[in-house]
Amino acid sequence: MPVCFKLIMKSAFYPVILAGGSGTRFWPRSRRRRAKQVLALDGKQTMIQKTVERLAPVSHEKDFWIITNEFVGDEIQRQLPSIPPKQMVIEPEPRNTAPAIGLAAFILERIDPASIIGMFPADHVIADEKKFRKVLQRAIEIAGRGENIVVMGVRPSRAETGYGYIETGDKLDQELFRVRRFTEKPNQQRAEEFVTAGNYYWNSGIFVWSARTLTRALREHLSETTPYLETIAAAWGTRDFEKKLGQLYPKCENISIDYAVLEPRSAKGEHSSNLYCLPADFGWNDLGSWAALYEHHAAALPGTNGRNVVEGKDVYAVNATGNYIYAKNKFVAAVGVHNLVVVETDDAILITTREQSQDVGKVVKYLNDKKMTDLV
């Protein structure tokens, strides 16, 4: 009875959205208090609103969890009023993904021992939402059996050196593979080899597993941090929670879930690791830089090369191609310039090239060094 099955799955599935990023890559639009996840980079909704909306048909709003930081917490609550406030956990200090998703797992295991947890970055673009949800449903189903860990892989469309890759092994069916290995960001040559090999996928950062599987994995692979997370989780729902969180969370190891659990687990060998990859093409883009945002928007424009992507009040471009221009306040004239990124906000202007736009972090560092905190 698939309908009944689906309802059971829905009740047990908890999306945990990791929204702690500081998002310096979109400076000057992104700031500590306006990090990427709370910006509307792709349409009218913000990245986190889109993330929740995309997942809503698979879960209930009351079952969402958000792990975020003090800078954007209030803004997220404002943007997502129907998420229960006590399911928004504010990290007292950033500790990367392992403590964040780990804390959610320990809490959810106490609330519902049959919980299936999905871990989702708050700030990625997914163009084909229906396909995404179809793959996610399958992941939930697989994660519900035994101690399976499912990662969503993205078929690489280029030899990208900015992402981690998943090397797959046995093909179990048309769309399911065992994971052989997680690899770090490769160099150009290795990235090209991965793409040619055909069994490598981009690591989307989306994982699905049961709360129990995750808590067991943490006990095994992150034994020092686990007691802190268990103590905090035990206080959830009590007036002690904030205090415990503030005391113990900063003691947790600052480590990603990939490093902490998935890589050591994959080292057990693909047949005993219980790691599965569901590869898919659902138009995934992590929007990691202004250049990536340009490409995302340019792909949606008519024509082929040299399109200017303009988000602005009024822009006039003459003999100008391939530029990304964002200016909500002022008229912008671009004359004879190519492949630039121009971003104007109320208090700052960024001028860079698409190629160098990932270096915008240097500006944020400069502003921090100079104590120009208004601009950060």
Which of 61/311 has CB closer to a second copy? 311
Cβ contact 85:47 at 8 Å: no
Report the residue number, 15 or 28, with the smaller CB distance to a second copy. 28
* Shortest spacing between CB 353 and a second copy, in angstroms: 5
The secondary structure of residue 31, as a DSSP letter, is B
Please tell me the distance from the alpha carbon of residue 103 to that of residue 67, in angstroms, as a whole number. Answer: 9
- What gap in Å lies between CA 163 and CA 189, rounded to an integer? 14
How near is the Cβ of 42 to a second copy at its closest, in Å? 23
Joined together, the tokens standing for residue 133 give 């949800």
Phi, psi at residue 34, to the nearest 5°? Answer: -135, 60
Closer residue to a second copy in complex, CB, 59/323:
323
State the minimum distance, in angstroms, from the CB of residue 210 to a second copy. Answer: 45
3-state secondary structure at position 169? strand
CB of 334 to a second copy, least distance (A): 5
Tell me whether residue 18 or residue 342 sits nearer to a second copy (CB atom).
342
Query: Toward a second copy, which CB reaches closer, 173 or 346?
Result: 346
Q: What are the angstrom distances between the C-alpha of 336 and each of 56, 181, 264, 291, 315?
A: 46, 47, 52, 19, 14
Nearer to a second copy, 82 or 329 (CB): 329
Q: What are the C-alpha distances in Å from 151 to residues 20, 240, 258, 355, 368?
A: 20, 34, 11, 30, 36
Q: What is the largest CA-CA distance in the chain?
A: 64
CA atoms within 13 A on the CB side of 176: 15
Residue 296 beta carbon to a second copy: minimum distance, rounded to whole angstroms: 20
Residues 60, 61, 62, 67, Cα dihedral to 10°: 120
Least distance in angstroms from the C-beta of 168 to a second copy: 37
178 or 354: whose CB is closer to a second copy? Answer: 354
Residues at the contact surface with a second copy, assessed by CB under 8 A: 27-28, 314, 316, 318-319, 327, 330-337, 340, 342, 344, 347-353, 355-357, 359-360, 362-363, 366-367, 372, 375
Toward a second copy, which CB reaches closer, 24 or 256? 24
- Residue 34 CB, shortest distance to a second copy, in Å, is 16
Q: In the bound complex, what is the minimum distance in angstroms from residue 33's beta carbon to a second copy?
A: 17
- Rg, the chain, Cα only: 21
- 3-state class of 107 per DSSP? helix
